[in-house]
A and B are shown apart, each in its own frame.
Chain A
Amino acid sequence: MMDRRVFVKAGGLALVSLGVDPVFLTRAAYATGRGERAADRKKILVCVFQRGAVDGLSMIVPHGDGLYYQERPRIAIPRRGNPGGVIDLDGHFGLHPSLAPLLPFYRSGALAAVHAVGSPSTTRSHFDAQDYMESGTPDIKSTADGWLNRQLQHSRSHENTPFRGVAIGPHLPRILRGDAAAIGIGQLNAFDFRGPPGARERMITAFRDLYTGDRSSLLATTAEEGFEAIKMLRAARAAMRGPAHGAEYPTSQFGRSMAHIAQLIHADLGLEIAFADVGGWDTHINQGAEQGQLANRLTDFAQAIAAFMTDLGPRMADVVLLTMSEFGRTIAENGTRGTDHGRATVMLVMGGPTRGGHVYGRWPTLSPEHRADGRDLAVTTDFRELFSEVLAGHFGTADISAIFPGYARPSERGLGVLG
């Protein structure tokens, strides 16, 4: 990546005299100040956002809590032992049968769940809650960047390639926006100019020159990251291959997203943080139980993640996969065999130093006196506590207040999810 650093440095110096916005300077200074000290096998964090507020009570089912069946006469997962019944984990919690592909990872200790996790903000707006979970600053809307981007700004362990921060899809989500470079990419194999190699090379050169001089340094830097990404992908494409270890991804959009992330990891393109969205969780109506709408979404979710973990195999020792969702859903089913917006939900942590095979978090119980606003599963773990623990335990991030401003971890040991 020497050419990139040299380029950015030269570009930065040239533009300083013209007066440019500080974002560019931050990126340039950062890019030039990087060392080469990182080890070969670098740590990677993959975040999966279940947009739309997943019903955590259906993913990790509190089947030992009697109120669960009482409050959900038509959408509860059948008791264990029954057809389509819950897969018991510890006598109290159980897995939705659609999540069965994840069971081996739970049993082997690679997968942990954290229940009753959520935001201190009480908003039940999808968009505000997503915004807070992505900015990492609940109830503060003015935060400019996302917490994954702040982690990229903070970390010095990876070389600065355009693939350090990647979101699968055409949009760069709020969580990855900020001063550190990050890219939104859909189809890896279509990410290039068209035509024979000579023509494609000419287009890159031409556009590179064009954007070098743009008055908005942010646009110039962003474009440069794009050109660099094209070049790296060209070099890597020949070596790219299908999934390893017999992994089979579902043909869904989420399946493709996870397969793309695995490819980027296999290709050693410098990936540090990857992000994928998976939607369809806003089950206000006909949520279903062991079968139905939510079950189908969970099947896809579990199959894609299981394929990813199989695909990476031993490499998962360096990769942590973290799932999140903006809030949970009502404890009681609503009038349309669905659930409305609630508070706490469940998040999964897999790979790397995860101490799996356990459901973490303080269980608030479903009893009415312990509910949030008398109706919803109470939040007993601030999402920032879990996210901080992942950053500290996986990346060794020491200064959590730089990632989550105004937040301090309640204890060094934390939840104990990562060993």
Chain B
Amino acid sequence: MRTRPPKLAIVIALAQCLVASNETAVAQAPPTAGETERNRVVHLLNRIAYGPRPGDVDRVLAVGIPKYIDQQLHPEQIPDTTLERRLGEFQILNHSPSQLARIQRAMLAEAQRHAERPRAEPTARPAQDRLRALVKEFQTLPVLRAVLSERQLYEVMVDFWTNHFNVYMGKGHERVFMPSYLEETIRPNALGTFEELLVATAQSSAMLFYLDNYQSVAPGSRPPQARRHSTNTMRRSTDPPDSPLSQLQRRADSIRARQAARFPTGLNENYARELLELHTLGVDGGYTEQDVVHVARIFTGWSTRVNRGGPMVFLPWAHDSGGKTVLGRVFPPHRGMEEGLELLRMLADHPATRRHVSAKLCARFVNDTPPRECVDEAAEAWERSDGSIREVVRAILVSDAFWDEPNRAAKFKTPLEFVASAFRILGADLDPLPDLATHVATLGQPLFWWGPPNGYPEDQASWMNAGSLVRRFVFAQMLATGRLPGTRSGLDATVPLGANREVLITRIERHVLQDRATPHTRRIMREQSSTIRVPATARAVILSLALGSPEFQRQ
């Protein structure tokens, strides 16, 4: 078993959610009209937010569902001071890609020195430690934002696009590129237009590196350096071969030749294929193998300064200037970078893209296998609004499918959703830079660390199996008993152990399980705690069961 010293504190402010008010809740109250509206709010907060915090349901009830949705669709108008204050602690947010590239270079130099030293000698590796710490901070960001942000729908959408346009941070230079990819490519466009988001990802160093396009060049093209190299060699070929100058020149030539041998010489289809299959049209979107090749030719020359942390550059010499045809549309020759932008605009507005991405959004918000009407309505909103993500999401949230009773609590939470919702429901007040990313990773979702380009799955079949359930139960137990690694809970201060057990159970049913507990779950929480004498143990068991219950695994 792994034990680690508690590094950072989580103070769980259960007072507010469990013992603040003065009345004894009545578990058997009959459902009323008000209860129904409450249920709708609970459903809404489980889908467009990472679950409710203490008091959230009442706040939304006071505002009204339509207005709350509208507010959430305009995150720029929602103050988020608590989170913003906390983000000040994240050094990663103050590091530009070029700064990160410098640290990475220092780390590589360190590794080189380390390799040259005798084995016994321990060496400090400050650059490596620093980069690792920054990466861990970065992985923590989405969890902290999911837990603390007032702009919940916005954070849900950022998570959605982070996976739709997945980039794997474990690949080479992505440690350098990923932070700006999230902050400057994904986040500013998460509720904007799909076209702008698509273009931004296509031009990001992170995507250009991840899907290898930065090295894709027109077959037969040569970089200017290589051309210089060959002319110089020719000019000097008449020098006396044994002169010192000639020897020096030969050595320089050989270095240049080795460099030239590393220049790419042709196409790489990786980005082209995933752009069509995953980002836009979908695998059944009607493109051919020849379309893939022509798309790859269109993006030749779209590159980045890999060792400097970017930014994206267009290399005219590497661009295939011939004519291309994609999905029947002719792209005339000599259009340079413009034809790539034109292609992206065409793909962004393609009917197959509308349906493919709308279906994924419906699967995120409604049901793993969303009804056709939901996809139709979302795709229509897309067409009507010229690809406004805000309007597509709005269409889904007002659709009948979103509110249909069978679709309530019909989705199984991902590890990120499970962990964030658990912290939120307990009103967790997170201490500086908590090791939140580790908890999500332990449950199977190390953030930014999904290798293939399709992103983390969203469906129940991918996340629900015997092993993953057990890990969630253990997480629930550790959170409820205040022994989550790296955390310390304030349960004793906030849930007085002297409280009447019946009151405690009723409050946990109401506030943690949001009145969704089945009679069976209620009975088991009572039964299992009834024979426990030690109040702290009883409280831990009840809360563990609530957080680990079937009800709490669903959203």
Instruction: Determine how close the nearest CB of chain B comes to the CB of A96; give it in whole angstroms.
Output: 22
Determine the distance from Cα of A326 to Cα of B203 in the docked complex, in whole angstroms: 30
Cβ contact within 8 Å between B463 and A192? no
Residue contact B264 to A336, C-beta cutoff 8 Å: yes
**Assuming A125-B283, A171-B444, A335-B267, is B466 touching A223 (CB within 8 A)?**
yes
What mask results when residues 336 to 354 of chain A are scored 1 for a CB within 8 Å of chain B, else 0? Answer: 1110110000000000000
- Say which one of A38-46, A225-233, A266-274 lies at the interface with B: A225-233
* A193 x B474 contact (CB < 8 A): yes
* Residue contact A213 to B518, C-beta cutoff 8 Å: yes
**Contact of A209 with B266 in the complex, beta carbons under 8 Å:** no
A222-B469 in contact (CB<8A): yes
Cβ of A399: which chain B residues have Cβ within 8 Å of it? none
Per-residue interface assignment for chain A, residues 148 to 163, with 1 indicating a CB less than 8 Å from any chain B CB and 0 otherwise: 0000000000000010
A210 interface residue per 8 A CB criterion: yes
Segment at the A interface, from B148-156, B176-184, B213-221: B213-221
| A257 CB, min distance to chain B CBs, angstroms | 14
- Interface SS, B side: helix
Asked if A51 contacts B467 (CB within 8 A), the reply is: no
Inter-subunit contact A194/B520 (CB<8 Å): no
A127 within 8 A of B: yes
Tell whether, in the assembled complex, residue B452 and residue A230 are in contact, meaning their CB atoms are under 8 Å apart: no
A20 at the interface (CB under 8 A from B): no
Question: Does A124 lie within 8 Å of B452, measured CB to CB?
Answer: no
B541 and A185 form a contact (CB under 8 A): no
Pick from B71-79, B87-95, B542-550 the stretch touching chain A.
Answer: B542-550
Contact of B544 among A128, A203, A220 (CB under 8 A): A203
Bound Cα distance A186, B467 (Å): 8
- B115 interfacial contact with A, CB 8 Å: no
> Contact: A206 with B470, CB < 8 Å?
no
Q: How far is the CB of B468 from chain A (nearest CB, A)?
A: 6
Residue of B nearest to A178 (CB): B461
The reply to whether B473 and A203 contact each other, CB–CB distance below 8 Å, is yes
CA distance A340 to B289 in the complex (A): 12
Docked-complex contact A194 and B1, CB < 8 angstroms: yes
- Nearest chain A CB to B138's CB is how many angstroms away? 21
- Assembly CA distance A171 to B473 (angstroms): 16
One of A183, A206, A213, A219 near B520 (C-beta < 8 A): A213
CB-defined interface of B100-144 with A at 8 Å, one 1/0 digit per residue?
000000000000000000000000000000000000000000000
**Min C-beta distance of A73 to chain B, whole Å:** 10
B454 within 8 A of A: yes
Q: Interface of chain A, helix or strand or loop or mixed?
A: loop
* Contact assessment for A226 and B273 in the assembled complex, using a CB-CB cutoff below 8 Å: no
Q: Mark A354-384, 1 if CB is under 8 A from B, else 0.
A: 0000000000000000000100000000000
Q: Which residues on the B side are within 8 Å of A407 (C-beta)?
A: none
> Is A222 touching B270 in the complex (CB atoms < 8 A)?
no
Contact with A along B443-482 (1 / 0, CB 8 A): 1110000011010010001111111111101100110010
Q: For the complex, is A211 an interface residue (Cβ under 8 Å from B)?
A: yes
- Judge if B521 is at the interface, Cβ distance under 8 Å: yes
* Interchain CB contact under 8 A, A183 and B466: yes
- Does B533 have its Cβ within 8 Å of any Cβ on chain A? no
Interface membership of chain A positions 164-196, coded 1 if the CB is closer than 8 angstroms to chain B and 0 otherwise: 000001111000010001111110011111110
> Is residue A70 within 8 Å, beta carbon to beta carbon, of the partner chain?
no
Q: Can you list 15 contacts pairing A with B, beta carbon distance less than 8 Å? A: A172-B465, A177-B461, A191-B471, A194-B478, A203-B544, A209-B528, A213-B521, A214-B520, A215-B550, A219-B464, A279-B451, A282-B270, A335-B268, A336-B265, A341-B273
6 nearest A-B residue pairs (beta carbon): A335-B266, A170-B444, A213-B520, A226-B466, A172-B465, A225-B466
Told that A214-B550, A229-B467, A334-B269 touch, could you supply 11 new A-B pairs with CB distance under 8 A?
A: A125-B283, A127-B277, A162-B466, A209-B524, A210-B548, A219-B464, A219-B469, A222-B464, A226-B467, A226-B469, A335-B219
